[in-house]
Amino acid sequence: MDEYRHHVSGFFSHREEAEGAVDRLAELGVPRERLQLFDAGSGPAVAEPKGESNEPKNRSYPIPFA
């Protein structure tokens, strides 16, 4: 049987909630080395827009829940 990797994301208002979710997933058997926790400032660097790349492209984007 082929191994299929699932990618799941969760978004939390408070870091403590996110850490609790990681702990619970580990308790349920997900190996900790397969879990990653990112905070607001830990994402990749964003490239500066060039030319007209910051013009609207008539796309719809999901609205995040508050």
Kindly state whether residue 33 falls inside one of the protein's structural domains: yes
Kindly state whether residue 13 falls inside one of the protein's structural domains: yes
Kindly state whether residue 1 falls inside one of the protein's structural domains: no
Q: How many structural domains compose the chain? A: 1
Kindly state whether residue 14 falls inside one of the protein's structural domains: yes
Q: What is the pLDDT of residues 13-56, one digit of tens each?
A: 999 999 999 999 999 999 999 999 888 777 667 666 666 655 65
Kindly state whether residue 20 falls inside one of the protein's structural domains: yes
Query: Residue 41: what pLDDT?
Result: 74
Query: Residue 42: what pLDDT?
Result: 73
Kindly state whether residue 59 falls inside one of the protein's structural domains: no
Q: Count Cβ neighbours within 10 Å for each residue of 8-33 and write b for 16 or more, e otherwise.
A: eeeeeeeeeebeeebeebeeeeeeee
Kindly state whether residue 24 falls inside one of the protein's structural domains: yes
Kindly state whether residue 15 falls inside one of the protein's structural domains: yes
pLDDT value at 7 more than 60: yes
